[in-house]
Amino acid sequence: MANVLVLMMAGLALTASGCATGLDYERAVTVHNVYRRVLLDVDREFTPAMVDAEKRIALANQKLDDVYDAEMKPWLAAVTALKLARQTEQAMHTSLEQWQAGAENGTVLKSTYACASDAVEKLSLAFGELPDNSVLYAASFAISAQLRVLSDGERCPVQ
Amino acid sequence: MMLSPLVTKLVSVAATAVEFVSSLRKKPEAKLDPPIQKTQAEMAAERIQARRAAERLERDKEQKP
């Protein structure tokens, strides 16, 4: 009887240590908040640059729709990538709220971090097609690394 | 039936361990910032595309009276 109880205690201790070394809520929230702030900073840098570029492109190509569309394409692709990143931030927020409410969603949360990391990589690629993108590049790479660590080997189910 | 002191102690320790695990999962003191509803870039792109579409429509009307 005592042996069985000792085994039970060992099981509980292992469960506790597993939780302690797994995804930590505080850390997950901190990275979410940093991710959100980085996206807002990137948005603040990117938007006026896009608006200025569009004015120049529109002025130079008032009746040349094909040229206008071609020159605007990388800017609009970057907007789409930023939108995707923003949507992953919302998904992450929802998962964290569910976790705080007591749901067993550690795995779901890890995959949302993986999706966010993928989205940031796509954002970096989109910014790479734009002129003068060094500030945006640095911000997105820094957060991508943190998101990848928190995803803990999980992959984003949506490709 | 009386439980032996060892069993009582083990049950008590087990309850503490369960409480500890729950506390690891639920930490309400961490402040979760609200999600971003829409980026400035998305709104600006929508305005740009709407304006450009209106300009194209206007030009098409001028070309086909």
What ipTM was assigned to the predicted interfaces of this complex? 0.72
- Judged by a CB distance cut-off of 8 A, whether residue A137 touches chain B is no
Which of A44, A76, A93 has the CB atom closest to B32's CB atom? A93
Within 8 A of A3 by CB-CB distance, chain B residues are none
A46, A136 Cβ separation under 8 angstroms: yes
A105, A95 Cβ separation under 8 angstroms: yes
Distances in whole angstroms, Cα of residue B63 to Cα of each of A62, A118, A147 = 15, 46, 53
The residue that leads in pLDDT, A51 or A31, is A51
Q: Over the stretch A48-99, which tens digit does the pLDDT of each residue have?
A: 988 989 999 988 877 788 898 998 999 999 999 999 999 999 988 988 888 8
Q: How far apart are CA B57 and CA B65, in angstroms?
A: 12
pLDDT of residue A10: 39
CA B16 to centroid of chain Cα atoms:
31
pLDDT of residue B44: 96
**pTM, to two decimals:** 0.69
Q: Which strand (E) or helix (H) includes residue A134?
A: helix A134-151
Residue A139 has pLDDT above 80, yes or no: no
Indicate yes or no: CB of B20 within 8 angstroms of CB of A58.
no
Q: Over the stretch B16-48, which tens digit does the pLDDT of each residue have?
A: 767 766 655 554 567 889 999 999 999 999 999
3-state secondary structure A38-51: HHHHHHHHHHHHHH
